[in-house]
Amino acid sequence: MSEPTLPPLAPPTAFGLSVRTALTMLAFTMAFTALMAGTYLATRDTIDASAEQEKLRLINDILPPVSYDNALLRDAVTLDTAPELGLPKGATIWRARKGDAPVALVMEAVAPDGYSGKIRLVLAVMHDGSLGGVRVVEHRETPGLGDYIDPKKDKNKTAPWIGQFAALAGSDWKVRKDGGAIEYRAGATISARAVTNAVARAAAFARADQDRLFRQGVQP
């Protein structure tokens, strides 16, 4: 007697194919997510340390490391809003000290009126009210014209434009065209004025509130 034959398998339905495809994609997504999460956890400390080193390098461009001895990046105060700095959603201000004595406030600021939009800055205001220095960290000013505000783009490497701010007093925080001490390049007054005015506002804010800012919060 011959063996019974099994009926042929029914072809997969569209629903079945969709389910199988969905399960395959889900498994792939879960595996990829787990891989990415594992990579992030494995490299997070290295990434954080690198970001801190870069931030500290930038700060040390405007504030000599020998002028302070505290862990500056951990001695900070956070403000919920700082319109004087062009930061309505809040700001972090780092406090430099030496032997527990106040040395300088380091802060970010934004000039809203650059020729091509916002210009982001970082500056140090010394405890005597003078400027330690200023750096432009982000801008969209015209290449070859207004971008000299950024020392990386300034063709004058021996005396970049931004270096004028170091040690300036309050009465000088204007471009020469407005009666101040800051020189500007022909054809690019708007960029220089935007940076200068933002620096003046931020420095005036720091000078007026420095005692409160140094006391606020807990010193690490």
Residue at 53: amino acid letter: Q
Low-confidence winner among 17-26, 95-104, 119-128, 134-143 (lowest mean pLDDT):
17-26
- Chain centroid to Cα 27, Å, comes to 38
- The DSSP element (H or E) to which 189 belongs, if any, is helix 189-215
Beta bridge partner(s), residue 77: 93
pLDDT at 51 > cutoff 70: no
Structure tokens at 82: 């700082």
First to last CA, the chain: 92
**CB of 184 closer than 8 Å to CB of 175:** yes
**pLDDT digits 0-9 by tens, 161-180:** 999 998 777 777 889 989 88
CA 108, 112, 116 angle in degrees (round to 5)? 115
Rounded mean pLDDT of the chain?
A: 84
Whether the model pTM is above 0.85: no
**CB of 166 closer than 8 Å to CB of 132:** yes
**pLDDT digits 0-9 by tens, 2-37:** 566 555 555 666 666 676 776 777 666 776 666 666
